[in-house]
Amino acid sequence: MNHKKVHGHNCRKMRSPENRAWTAMKQRCYNPKDERYRDYGGRGITVCDRWKHSFKNFLEDMGPKPAPNLSLDRIDNNGNYEPGNCRWATIYEQLSNRRFARRPKAA
């Protein structure tokens, strides 16, 4: 059986937005060559076992992306990608949920 056809979200080159989000999440966390790895996997952010190897489980927990302007977001910016810590969020919600680099105090 072709696993790519089971959930219907990865047909040929037409991957669904949910499948692209799942793939990008794993790249940020586990691929040191990804330009965003430093801010994710490089600081210890991981993907839960339930999602790491199963797009079906990810989709079951997150549901379909409700609108095109939403993207995958972690509620606790220092937490991992896992059920209960992820949501589909607007860019404004994501911008208000960013970590900022601490600047040294002036002497």
Output the tens digit of pLDDT for each of the chain's 107 residues: 444 444 555 555 679 999 999 999 999 999 999 999 999 999 999 999 999 999 999 999 999 999 999 999 999 999 999 999 999 999 999 888 776 644 455 55
What's the rounded Cα separation, in Å, for the pair 48 and 59?
A: 14
Q: Say if residue 28 is exposed, middle or buried (CB neighbours under 10 Å; 0-12, 13-18, 19+).
A: buried
Is there a domain that residue 21 lies in? yes
Q: What DSSP character marks residue 79? A: S
Is there a domain that residue 37 lies in? yes
- The number of folded domains in the chain is 1
Is there a domain that residue 29 lies in? yes
Quote the domain boundaries for residue 85.
Answer: 9-95
Instruction: Flag whether the pTM goes above 0.75.
Output: yes
